[in-house]
Structure 1
Amino acid sequence: MTQRTDVVVIGGGQSGLAAGYHLRRLGVEHVILDAQTAPGGAWQHTWDSLRLFSPAAYSSLPGRLMPLQPGETYPDGRHVVEYLADYEKRYELPVQCGVRVDAVRRDGTRLRVEGDSGDWRARAVVSATGTWTRPFIPAVPGRREFSGRQLHTVQYRSPAEFAGQRVIVVGGGNSGAQIAADLASVAELTWVTRRPPRYLADDIDGRALFDAATARRRALDAGRTDTGGVASLGDIVAVPPVRAARDAGLLRATPMFSHLAEDGVAWADGTTAQADAIIWCTGFRPALAHFAPLGLRGTRGHIATVGTCAADEPRLHALGYGDWTGPASATLIGVGRPARDAAREIAELLRA
């Protein structure tokens, strides 16, 4: 069965909800299709001890401040899930859960969104599928030879299952630092990073990162010198668990190894380390496979955009994948502005 609407939003996480909020405010008919079976997006699947980089007041979607989490300055993933579920309900957003979108195709004056429970024909599409379903692991020599357990950030839940084991955590970003801090007191930890860890000043949180990303985008748009944005400040926000492990001397980083062996890893100078498990905290790629029929894919899985709008398909917007779809748009606080801009552009397109 094929249904019709003005706009299909693909993805019901934070970006999809922000898009729905602004579309509803503009009176634009839309539906939000979400592959998850419950509200909360990827936050439902994060590790138990994960903390936001910012206090609740600076981690909010448009129109609704995130409430404080009792006893916590930096909310955990469970609190975010509760907030997103409340947000969806409060604004009566038209989310259909458990619907996986397989492809988006051109269909005359409309776009056809093909899903596992039927198709939709829409005048515009917002893709807000994020990156969580496309974990990236680098092609390090010997990966197939290692006989221990290998997992990515998306599969890590708690330190309990690694108690007493030899664990190598790979990655010098926030996920790597938080998971390394989580394991430092229960496992024999080796934390591996490509360059020495760069901690942001302890008083810097997600609000400052959002401001830095916004200032960089404004400078580039105005033809001024690149400010460096977030990268100029550092790689790791020192949330309390990370700060505590760092200050206790438990987070000592080791340079990246050259290859894996059956029982562990090895460095170019002949140094080796045995391991029972390797956790790859090595980032993600955009989940954009549904765009394949449109022929829009560019380098590193991105598509060319002007703001959030696809450069070669004005009926399509990409939202929340990173700075290339708006400054800090992959964050709770950062997605609001590009979502507003996308909704306004779509409303103008529909009036044309």
Structure 2
Amino acid sequence: MHVHDQILDSLVIGAGQAGLSASRHLARRGIDHVVLDADERPGGAWQHRWDSLRMADVHGVADLPDAVAPGRSDGRANVVVPAYFSDYERRFDLPVVRPVLVDSVSSEGGLLAVTAGERAWRTRTLVNATGTWTQPFVPHYPGIETFAGEQLHTVDYPGPQHFAGRRVLVVGGGASAVQFLGELAPVADTLWVTRRPPVWRTDDFDPEAGLAAVTLVADRVRRGLPPTSVVGVTGLALRPQEREAERLGAYRRRPMFDRIEPTGVRWDAGAVLERVDVILWATGFRPAVGHLAPLRLRTPAGGIQLDVGGAVQSAVTAVRDPRVQLVGYGPSASTIGANRAGRAAAVAVARVLAEDDDLSA
């Protein structure tokens, strides 16, 4: 194994919005660090989004520090945002190394050891910015393995024309499900199921409402519970491009089915089998933190407890190991939250380094 000789002051895992923000703020403070990114190209998870997702469709991309983000347009999000990130890396000469897929992070005395295949780095602090895109979640239902049709998750979504003329079951109660139905209903026969009735938002989503939603997520990580999605607690709203799907009845939701059969799904309350050709699981993601397992950061409740001492979107420090900062996790899992968390992580890293230097003096 090749172990890099230099002991870094900090190391960032992930070069999406949160990772780039953290790197820029670390660089501003003169903190020696590298950014390890698993992708071959800049762009974070945005480069993997479906082609039909336009900049006019996304909830918004927040400005990275010192650089204005692209606005709403008809441009493809999986092209526009990666180009923005790529330019940002070059403009500020951020120390991104790719492709590097981190396998594990472990503690070696006062240092953290980061391994990726045959390579290893040693660092005094860590900023984890790995997001969720690599951890799609599909719930298990009886018979799921018997379905003879096609099953896809959000990460596999190929665009509406792939489903033309077919009967598509969309599973999930979040914004992605609403967007998929908006695209699919005009070209396919759709059916929508969710575990809970959807909560539709009719008012403007102002900053006060946003803070209230983030606070709910922050309370969970404060207690060491698995985080919920920030978007998941904000409520749903239809955009103009989804009104046609609404007219076609695409948003008449049904409760979750009880089992899956080779040709469709069935509810125990009734004998009718709903035949479908495709099941599209818009069921979200889980935090990509498996590589942190050797640090034993998880609580018995299953989440990573963060220190929620100040602003809720600045809750980044792992209670069980303050050397580790998590950005884009829990209350900072949005583009705006990720930016604020990047700054908070740099502040926390500087504090840990100063305390360590004081103890060594």
Q: Is the CA contact (8 Å cut-off) linking 1:50 and 1:178 kept in structure 2?
A: no
Give the letter aligned to residue 292 of structure 2: F
Q: CA 1:202 to 1:154, structure 2 compared with 1: closer, same or farther past 3 Å?
A: farther
Q: Which residue of 2 aligns with 1:272?
A: 273
Q: Is the 8 A contact 1:99 1:117 kept in 2?
A: no
Is 2:15–2:35's contact at 8 Å kept on the other side of the alignment?
Answer: yes
Number of the residue aligned with 1:257: 257
Name the CA distance, whole Å, in 1 between partners of 2:301 and 2:78.
28
Structure-2 change in CA distance of 1:128 and 1:232 (3 Å): closer
Normalised to the residue count of structure 2, the TM-score between the two structures is 0.84
Matched, 1:38 2:28: no
Q: Does 1:112 align with 2:113?
A: yes
Superposed CA RMSD:
2.7
Q: CA deviation at 1:86?
A: 2.0
Which position in structure 2 is the counterpart of 1:7?
10
Question: How far apart are the structure 2 equivalents of 1:90 and 1:112?
Answer: 29
Q: For 1:294, give the aligned amino acid.
A: L
Indicate conservation of the 8 Å contact 1:212/1:230, yes or no.
no
The reply to whether residue 309 of structure 1 matches residue 317 of structure 2 is yes
In the TM superposition, residue 220 of structure 1 has moved relative to its aligned partner by 10
Correspondence list, 1:155-170, <5 A? 155-170=156-171
- 1:54 aligns to what? 59
Q: How much does 1:302 deviate?
A: 2.5
Where do 1:121-140 residues align within 5 Å? 121-140=122-141
Tell me the residue number matched to 1:186. 187
Listed one character per residue, the Cα deviations across residues 210-269 of structure 1 (whole Å, up to 9, x for unaligned) are: 444356689999xxxxxxx97897532433333442255433222211110111001122
The residue correspondences of 1:294-305 to structure 2 (distance < 5 A) are 294-298=295-299, 301-305=302-306
Distance in structure 2 (CA, Å) of the matches to 1:77 and 1:301:
32
Structure 2: where are the runs of 5+ without partners? 222-228, 308-314, 356-361
What amino acid maps onto 2:180 in structure 1?
I
Match of 1:321 in 2: 329
Q: Say if 1:237 and 1:47 are closer, same or farther in 2 by CA, change over 3 A.
A: farther
Per mean C-alpha deviation after superposition, the further-off stretch among 45-54 and 9-18 is: 45-54
> What is the 5 A alignment of 1:140-289?
140-201=141-202, 203-204=204-205, 210-213=210-213, 234-247=234-247, 249-270=249-270, 271-289=272-290
- Answer yes or no: is the 8 Å Cα contact 1:210–1:334 preserved in 2: no
- Partner AA of 1:84 in structure 2: F
**Alignment length (residue pairs):** 335
Alpha-carbon shift at residue 165 of structure 1 (Å): 1.1
Equivalent residue number for residue 225 of structure 1 = none
The 1:20/1:84 distance shift into structure 2, 3 A limit, reads same
For residue 49 of structure 1, give the secondary structure of its aligned residue in structure 2: coil
Q: Which runs of 5+ in 1 are unaligned?
A: 222-228, 324-328
